[in-house]
Amino acid sequence: MTILHLEDSEADAVMAEMLIHEEWPECRICRVATRAEFESALEFEQFDLILSDHHIPDFDGVRALQQARTCRPQTPFIFLSGTIGEERAVDALKQGARDYVIKDRPARLIAAIRQALTDVEEEQRRHRVEDALRQNQERFRQITENVADMIALLDVEGRRVYTNPAYASVLGEAGRLRGTSAFDDVHPEDRERVRQAFAETVRTGVSERDEYRLQLADGSVRYIESQGSVVRDSGGQVVNVLLVARDVTARRAADQQLREQAWLLDKARDAIIATDLARRVTYWNASAERIYGWSAAEVLGRDLGTLELQPEPRAFAAAWDALLAHGEWQGELQLRARQGTRLHVATTWSLVQDAAGQPQSVLLIDTDITEAKQMEAHLLRAQRAESMGTLTGGIAHDLNNMLAPILIATGLLEMEPLGPAARRVLASIEASAQHGAALVRQLLGFARGTNGERGPVLPARLVHDVASLLRQTMPRRITVQVAIDREPREIQADVTQLKQLLLNLCINARDAMPGEGTITLGAEEVVLAEAETRTMLDGQPGPHLHLSVADTGGGIPPEILERIFDPFFTTKPADKGTGLGLSMVRGIAKGHQGFLHVESAVDRGTTFHIYLPLALENAEPAVRPPGASPEVVGTCSASLHG
């Protein structure tokens, strides 16, 4: 501690110093005796306490007090003097002195110093608290008056004590709102609920978030999201509730708009997908779920490449590079769904830019054109078959005209006396001509369609007869079985041609199974819906007799499947087939106003479906109980498969 002592008496100064050092041995006392020394000490040094005599030559304690209050207002000042009047003592205290001690009573000096220091320390503490409070109040004012949130201080009854400018901008001036109930502005339908939530917050002290509507004076409605926090007094009692609210009307409108847009996107038939630049999926609409088989929850956040949609990575990579280079790419892609189904899609990829014009995401819009491509292929196949039929008919007529004289001549030559060698040559010529004539009949049958004699045919008997014949002629490694659920009614057809149709298909099935295998023949009545026939060449909705021939062979590759009905197309060696078998099968079906449909998968076998129309008055849809398998008649228990 450092003390400044203004005293002109040496003896009085020594006495005071002895008393002080006895109590505070480390205390430093700076004694001055004149006005100049006093003023210099005040200017250049710091002191914890000032002691002053009341009477100094050419100077007095009152003026010393005034200067000390001016230069060092926080430093306590104590008079240590001889006898002074009570009036002067009171006047000195009024002017800022902490105490006065009579020199005749020096024992009180220590108590006066200690009390003065204690008072100063308490004042400093109080000043610090007041400064902190002022700073906090100013900080609170700055925050509440500049934030966008609506802030209100309510009493425990819900009356407004304070509102910030953001609150007033919605509900009115702070002066008009002060003392009014905050519940008055709540929408009538929400008011009771909000009042109960407020009372619960006051009762429990637990802060709760709520959302409700405000109804303004002009009748408009604003949606508010708010949270109330209790304010307690020093005794822990809840005295106020601080309400912090936010106007979320615009956000709710934006959310509603987003929901409506998402609903519209989900209604779109196209697959709409969004990814970031790292190809991670950020949006996947309902049509994308339907077309590709993955739900949005399964793909969001995943790299699009991990879904293995693209069976041709090079084409996909080239399209992505073109997108990054030009900002957009359009084209057609062969894709693969989750179940392995191949899809043909027309797609548009677009780079989406942020506000600064930088790419931030990719939008993909895929249109499933698989059905359209299949229909186009069917149409081209039908046109090709029709053209081939016209060409084949012309060729067959010319061949028939060339073979007729040969057959007539061989017949006439047989009546002539010829040697054994000549007769062998003649027999060879006749056999070749007969073979050529048979081929011509096949060609004409393909070109004209088949239209032999019709009569009543029992489909079940037809299938069993063919199966019986096959079991006698097929290699033992081949199992022939029949799968019939309900026996179909008889139809009007050429039984010979239908047998030829089934036998041709079964022979092809045999050739597709070089090892062991199973051929399954089936018959049933069905009613085809229009949607089912859209992808079937020449398909027509309505009641049909459905004949089927299924095998367990290696299946037909997709690139060959499109051509199997073309005349003269065959995968067999040149000496093993003419390529007219399936063309004849299609011609027989077409001659009966029917059509064919093929299902095949590599290593999973092939099924030929033959649909022959039934008269409407005789038709009934085939009804098969759920989970029921068709009855199998034959040497195996396997059922008809696709």
Query: Is 73's pLDDT higher than 80?
Result: yes
259 in a structural domain: no
569 in a structural domain: yes
Q: What is the pLDDT of residues 225-264, one digit of tens each?
A: 888 888 888 888 888 998 888 888 888 877 777 677 667 6
Q: Which of 88-102, 396-410, 420-434 has the lowest mean pLDDT?
A: 396-410
Question: What domain range is 460 assigned to?
Answer: 455-634
Q: Give the list of residues 6+ apart from residue 549 with CB closer than 8 angstroms, or none.
A: 502, 505, 506, 509, 519, 520, 521, 522, 607, 608, 610
Average pLDDT, integer, range 273-295 = 88
Are residues 90 and 8 part of one domain?
yes
Q: What is the pLDDT of residues 326-356, one digit of tens each?
A: 889 988 888 888 877 888 888 888 988 887 8
Q: What is the CA radius of gyration of the chain?
A: 54
What b/e sequence results for 530-566 when a residue is b if at least 16 CB atoms lie within 10 Å of its CB, and e otherwise?
eeebebbbbbeeebbbbbbbbbbbbbbeeeeeeebbb
CATH number for 178: 3.30.450.20
- The reported pTM is 0.39
Considering only residues 443 and 188, tell me which one the structure prediction assigns the higher pLDDT: 188
Confidence of residue 31 (pLDDT cuts 50, 70, 90): very high
Are residues 569 and 527 part of one domain?
yes
- Note whether 537 and 595 are within 8 A (CB): yes
Are residues 629 and 576 part of one domain?
yes
378 in a structural domain: no
Are residues 565 and 418 part of one domain?
no
Are residues 626 and 517 part of one domain?
yes
Instruction: Write down the pLDDT at residue 442.
Output: 61
386 in a structural domain: no
Are residues 504 and 424 part of one domain?
no
Average pLDDT, integer, range 480-504 = 87
* Spatial CA neighbour of 333 closest among 346, 322, 321, 320: 346
Q: What is the pLDDT of residues 464-476, one digit of tens each?
A: 988 988 887 788 8
- Cα–Cα dist 608/591, whole Å: 17
Instruction: Write down the pLDDT at residue 216.
Output: 86
Q: What is the DSSP string of 450-512?
A: -----EEE-HHHHHHHHHHHHHHHS-TTEEEEEEESSPPPPEEE-HHHHHHHHHHHHHHHHHT
Instruction: Write down the pLDDT at residue 43.
Output: 87
CATH number for 461: 3.30.565.10
Amino acid at position 527, single letter: V
Q: What is the pLDDT of residues 554-586, one digit of tens each?
A: 888 877 777 677 666 666 655 455 556 677 788
Q: What is the pLDDT of residues 191-214, one digit of tens each?
A: 999 999 899 888 888 887 888 998
Are residues 195 and 107 part of one domain?
no
Instruction: Write down the pLDDT at residue 26.
Output: 92
Instruction: Write down the pLDDT at residue 174.
Output: 64
- Note whether 185 and 216 are within 8 A (CB): yes
260 in a structural domain: no
Amino acid at position 67, single letter: Q
Query: Is 373's pLDDT higher than 50?
Result: yes
Query: Is 358's pLDDT higher than 50?
Result: yes
Q: Count other Cβ atoms within 10 Å, centred on residue 502.
A: 26
Query: Is 55's pLDDT higher than 60?
Result: yes
Domain end (from 405, 421, 448) = 448
Are residues 113 and 23 part of one domain?
yes
Q: What is the pLDDT of residues 96-120, one digit of tens each?
A: 888 888 887 777 889 999 999 998 8
Instruction: Write down the pLDDT at residue 441.
Output: 66
- Cα–Cα dist 35/508, whole Å: 133
Instruction: Write down the pLDDT at residue 451.
Output: 53
Are residues 226 and 80 part of one domain?
no
Q: What is the pLDDT of residues 419-468, one digit of tens each?
A: 888 888 888 887 877 777 776 666 565 555 555 578 899 999 999 988 98
Query: Is 311's pLDDT higher than 50?
Result: yes
Are residues 561 and 468 part of one domain?
yes
Task: Give the whole-number percent of the chain exceeding pLDDT 70.
Answer: 84
Query: Is 49's pLDDT higher than 90?
Result: yes
Instruction: Write down the pLDDT at residue 636.
Output: 32
- Cα–Cα dist 379/561, whole Å: 15
Task: Give the whole-number percent of the chain exceeding pLDDT 90.
Answer: 14
Are residues 487 and 625 part of one domain?
yes
Question: What average pLDDT does the chain have?
Answer: 81
211 in a structural domain: yes
Pairing of strands 542-551, 605-613: antiparallel
Query: Is 131's pLDDT higher than 70?
Result: yes
Confidence of residue 381 (pLDDT cuts 50, 70, 90): low
642 in a structural domain: no
487 in a structural domain: yes
Task: Tell me the CB-side half-sphere exposure of residue 628, using CA atoms within 13 A.
Answer: 11
Residue 58, both tokens: 């050419």
Are residues 181 and 88 part of one domain?
no
Confidence of residue 77 (pLDDT cuts 50, 70, 90): very high
Query: Is 610's pLDDT higher than 90?
Result: yes
Instruction: Write down the pLDDT at residue 578.
Output: 54
* Spatial CA neighbour of 60 closest among 40, 87, 79: 79
Confidence of residue 549 (pLDDT cuts 50, 70, 90): very high
- Note whether 335 and 310 are within 8 A (CB): yes
CATH number for 103: 3.40.50.2300
User: Per DSSP, what are the bridge partners of residue 521?
Assistant: 482, 549
Domain count, the chain: 5
